[in-house]
Amino acid sequence: MARVAIVTGGTRGIGEAISLALKEQGRTVVANYCGNDERAKAFSDRTGIAIAKWDVGDHEACLTGCVKAAQDHGEIDIVVNNAGITRDGTLHRMSWDDWNEVMRVNLGGCFNMAKACFPGMRERKWGRIVNIGSINGQAGQYGQVNYAAAKSGIHGFTKALAQEGAKYGVTVNAIAPGYIDTDMVAAVPEPVLEKIVAKIPVGRLGHAEEIARGVAFLTSDDAEFVTGSTMSINGGQHMY
Ligand code: NDP
């Protein structure tokens, strides 16, 4: 039977590419989303991929959403924690709410999804968790103390949980994307983006599919010996 994968924030941007790559690999995919009903429905109609709405920053909603997904599609073997937001601003302008919301969704979401799905993977002795970090969690970024801290936290979370899963056939890895051409990057002002691209040795933004191919490998049987690692996919912008 096909393994079941949940991709958070799986209906657009990098998440959309991940959902499609896992489907192509033969997985049964459930694409989670939070706000954009119309776009999520259009994605589902276009791809045939099931969608499920909940806020990954809400602990109870994650537990309930994952139980329902398992009832509808089968036990969850693969979780890709891709959902993420930005609330940028230099520290002196950043509010407590901006700090908290980014930690709640970006880092709290990983904890909530792992709480919902890791115990079952551990019992069944097979599981794959991939957490989407960021180059800015590795290197820091002006105006992003909240985002950089949350993404950096994801890398620590990944290494700690990898140790807990290792004996049970559950691998936990992270991908740290560089700048990828999605809505999130479209929000960066053009002159800033030009400066960023000038610092990417490969000379361009990345494509969502290039991240998805990394996820497809890390969630495959071939990656059984890969755990606790961070795969940087960033066109050479930061060599960590
Ligand atoms: P987008 O802004 O294009 O998409 C964000 C996705 O996250 C959407 O699917 C959105 O759902 C979902 N989402 C946001 N908040 C929640 C929530 N509370 N609960 C559930 N889903 C939520 O982002 P990208 O595709 O660019 O980024 C995907 C991931 O990759 C993020 O974690 C991001 O931080 C990371 N990343 C991106 C980089 C880039 O250059 N683009 C670089 C490095 C890391 P909905 O459609 O319902 O709003």
**pLDDT of 233:** 98
Give pLDDT tens digits for 37-94: 999 999 999 999 999 999 999 999 999 999 999 999 999 999 999 999 999 999 999 9
Reply yes or no on whether the pLDDT at 184 is more than 90: no
Counting atoms of ligand 1 from 1, which one is nearest the CA of 86? 34
When the pLDDT of each residue in the chain is averaged and rounded to a whole number, the result is 97
**CATH classification of the domain holding 54:** 3.40.50.720
Asked, for residue 216, whether it belongs to a domain, the answer is yes
Q: Is the CB of 234 under 6 A from ligand 1?
A: no
Nearest Cα residue to atom 23 of ligand 1: 184
Strands (E), the chain: 4-7, 28-33, 50-53, 76-81, 127-132, 170-177, 230-233
The answer to whether residue 211 sits within a structural domain is yes
Give the whole-angstrom CA distance, residue 35 versus residue 187.
18
Domain membership of residue 240 (yes or no) is: no
| Domain contains 51 | yes
Domain annotation covers residue 28: yes
For tokens 């924690």, the residue is 81
Residue 188 has pLDDT above 90, yes or no: no
pTM, 2 dp: 0.98
Whether the CB-CB separation of 8 and 56 falls below 8 Å is answered with: yes
| Closest atom, ligand 1, to C-alpha of 104 | 18
Give the whole-number percent of the chain exceeding pLDDT 70. Answer: 100
Q: What amino acid positions are annotated as catalytic residues?
A: 147
Tell me, yes or no, whether 87 lies in a domain. yes
Ligand 1 neighbour 183 (Cβ under 6 A): yes
Q: How many domains does the chain have?
A: 1
Mean of pLDDT values over 171-193: 93
CA–centroid distance, 84 to ligand 1, in Å, is 4
Residue linked to tokens 């799986």: 10
Partnered with residue 233 across adjacent β-strands are 177
Higher pLDDT, 184 or 26: 26
Report residue 132: phi and psi, to 5°: -90, 105
> CB of 19 closer than 6 A to ligand 1?
no
Q: What is the pLDDT of residue 66?
A: 98
Q: How confident is the model at residue 187, as a pLDDT?
A: 87
Full strand arrangement of the beta sheet holding 170-177: 50-53, 28-33, 4-7, 76-81, 127-132, 170-177, 230-233
Residues in contact with 60: Cβ distance below 8 Å, sequence separation at least 6, in sequence order: none
Would 238 be classed as within a structural domain?
no
Alpha helices in 131-202 (DSSP H): 135-139, 145-165, 183-186, 190-198
Give the pLDDT confidence of 199-228 residue by residue, as tens digits. Answer: 999 999 999 999 999 999 999 999 999 999
- How far apart are the two ends of the chain, measured CA to CA in Å? 38
Distance 33 CA to ligand 1 centre (A): 9
Task: Tell me how far the alpha carbon of residue 83 lies from the centroid of ligand 1, in angstroms.
Answer: 4
15 within 8 A of 36, measured Cβ to Cβ: no
Say yes or no to pLDDT of 240 above 80.
no
Residue 55 counted as domain residue: yes
Domain that holds residue 206: 4-233
Q: Which atom of ligand 1 is nearest to the CA of 187?
A: 2
205 bridge partner residues: none
